[in-house]
Amino acid sequence: MGATLITNIGELTTNVGRDGDLCGTLHDAAVLIEGTRIAWVGAASDAAARISDRDIASTRPGVGEQLRSQRPNDITRHRGVGGGGVEIVDAGGRAVIPGFVDSHTHLVFGGDRADEFEARMTGTPYAAGGIRRTVAATRAASDEELRGRLAGFVAELHAQGTTTFEIKTGYGLTVADEARLARLAAEVTTEVTFLGAHVVPAEYADRREEYVELVCGEMLRACTAHSRWIDVFCERGAFSPAESERILVAGIAHGLAPRVHGNQLGPGEGVRLAVALEAASVDHCTYLSDADVAALAGSRTVATLLPGVEFSTRQPYPDARRLIDAGVTVALASDCNPGSSFTSSMPLMVALAVREMGMTPAEAVWAATAGGAQALRREDVGGIASGMRADLVLLDAPTRVHLAYRPGVPLVRSVWVGGERL
């Protein structure tokens, strides 16, 4: 791959903190991409010094000439660009942010549960049991059907600025089906989570112990090759704290890192368990005690909030302000799934977090980018700095605030994933 210079950026969110500026904001900025990585970040007025005369290949008439006129005579060619030319992108004063990092999705599934959503809108409460409907539909779907649908979701994610995403299994709940969901997910992301402990499937309703043993044994072994993480739904109607701990410990023994679904439907032990096992994240966090908040604040475990769930289920939104003020690291994710949050839109998560959860626009954008990266324990994504993967989003807006200020508007103008403009 060649090089790309994005210049004339009105507002650049780097997520490299600067004296109280959480988002590390630069104005009148430029970013140089070489291959898959960011090579340089700085002032647009200094951009000309990063490239040589013969490397300019402008995508807009006049931009190359403008850069040439800015360059002093003693400029040396930017090392590493080579003779292949630099594509110059004029941002036109627009905002650039890091690509969104969606650290919690369930994208490999069959079927539809729109009727459940309609029922909830007329007062039926959400319950975890609906997962079994998706399990049945997923088992019945072919690999090609699942792969085609997954490709559509990935296209949705990219179109809305998501450049890194995690995918969970959990809609197969047999050894063969969980293994194929992990395999299909691994075709599109390295961030695959084994979630055999989503719910106990119908055929094991009277044999819970046998199912837990299956998840800890044969099913786990079948999914390990394609997975990085192990997760468990530690919640009433799903798995008890003791069952959850047993499953997570088994996963850790097989080299998988732990994550937890916790404290979604009511107070529970999910946060305690996640912190005790040094899980990368505990997700949902709708119902938290003071002890839960204190435990999170004293740990590396990220509280991943999923406001699309509350939008879809009419449960109360998590109190992000309480967590942030206590010093907890907060991430935002979509939880895209057919039952409780059928949206892949991280811009919507930002808008909901600002409107309903007490976050500032800067905090919400940070949580949806750098926060998600921390929830995946990634240091190469979630920010814009030299050496990081070149995942960037050019917004059709002057500032990141417009993500919340103009909810529902398609503000993503261009997306780069690993240096490639989609």
387 is in an annotated binding site: no
- The reply, when asked if residue 206 is annotated as ligand binding, is no
Is 198 marked as a binding-site residue? yes
H/E stretch holding 42 reads strand 37-43
331/320 Cα distance (integer angstroms): 10
Crossing angle of helices 143-159 and 175-186, in 10° steps, is 40
Burial 298-321 (b: 16+ CB within 10 A, else e): ebebbbbbbbbbbbbbebebbbbe
264 annotated binding-site participant: yes
DSSP state letters, 255-321: TPEE-EEESSSSS-SHHHHHHHTT-SEEEE--S--HHHHHHHHTSS-EEEE-HHHHHHH-PPPP-HH
Q: How far apart are CA 370 and CA 288, in angstroms?
A: 23
At 15 the three-state DSSP class reads coil
CA separation, residue 279 to residues 225, 230, 366, 382, 398 (Å): 20, 10, 21, 19, 37
Nearby residues of 19 by Cβ (< 8 Å), 6 or more positions away: none
Is 339 annotated for ligand binding? yes
Burial of 3 (0-12, 13-18, 19+ CB in 10 A): buried
Q: Does the annotation place 228 within a ligand binding site?
A: no
Cα(382)–Cα(265) distance, integer angstroms: 29
261 marked ligand binding residue: yes
**335 marked ligand binding residue:** yes
At residue 221's C-alpha, the angle toward residues 220 and 225, to 5°, is: 105
Is 312 marked as binding a ligand? no
CA pair distance 199, 222, nearest whole angstrom = 18
Classified as helix, coil or strand, 346 is: helix
Residue 106 in marked binding region: yes
Q: State how far the Cα of 79 lies from the Cα of 57, in Å rounded to an integer.
A: 17
Q: Tell me, what amino acid is at 383?
A: G
Sign for the pseudo-dihedral over CA of 346, 348, 350, 353: negative
Measuring CA to CA, which residue among 405, 359, 384 is closest to residue 13? 384
> Rounded distance, CA 409 to CA 422, Å?
20
374 marked as binding residue? no
Annotated binding site: 104, 106, 113, 171, 198, 261, 264, 335, 337, 339-340
Annotated binding site for Zn(2+): 104, 106, 261, 335
Annotated binding site for N-formimidoyl-L-glutamate: 171, 337, 339
Annotated binding site for 4-imidazolone-5-propanoate: 113, 171, 198, 264, 340
Annotated binding site for Fe(3+): 104, 106, 261, 335
